[in-house]
Amino acid sequence: MKTISRIILLIVIALSFNACTHNNGDIGDLFGTWKLETITIDGEKDSSYQDNVLWKFQASVINMVRANDTTHDRYESWGTWSYANDDTQILLNFTHTDNDNPNQGSNKYSPLPETYLPKARISTLNIVELNGKKMTLIYRADNGKEYIYYFKKWA
């Protein structure tokens, strides 16, 4: 009985070393969860930002999450992303729909309001810095305002 238990344990250990942790979605430095630490608008820190948003990247999907530590509420939105212009830009696509959300711009498929990104559009963000620990992105809105997003790798 001990021998069978040891064999099963060895098989489980061997399989865990071969397990896929990125589910076929490893995209380099961008992969994983990023904590949005600060937003600046035209060079001024956005004092209304509550330091509670995460951006999660895997394969071509972006998931934005707002968490409230006090009430434990969680709100998520979904889109897709891609690199552009020789990987110096990220395109965020929030034009998706599904059977329950047939209109573009639904809350499920829109960027979180605190990001100031437009609904039902593809937005271009310039990459200033992207490495395994930090990410800085710039978005220039149609109204001329410049938003800079400062991220720290979360997981």
In a domain, 61, yes or no: yes
Spatial distance between the Cα atoms of 104 and 122, rounded to a whole number of angstroms? 12
Query: Higher pLDDT residue, 70 or 30?
Result: 30
What the block records as the tokens of 56 is 């999660």
Residue 135, burial from CB neighbour count under 10 angstroms (0-12, 13-18, 19+): buried
What the block records as the tokens of 77 is 């939105």
In a domain, 3, yes or no: no
Q: Are strands 122-130 and 61-67 parallel, antiparallel or unpaired?
A: unpaired
Spatial distance between the Cα atoms of 41 and 38, rounded to a whole number of angstroms? 10
Tally of domains in the chain: 1
Domain containing 149 — which CATH number?
2.40.128.280
In a domain, 13, yes or no: no
Q: Containing domain of residue 144, as a range?
A: 24-153
In a domain, 127, yes or no: yes
Q: Would you state the pLDDT for residue 2?
A: 57
* pLDDT, tens digit (0-9, with 9 covering 90-100), for 74-89: 999 999 999 999 999 9
Query: Higher pLDDT residue, 20 or 111?
Result: 111
pTM: 0.81
Q: Give the confidence band of 72 by pLDDT, cuts at 50, 70, 90.
A: confident
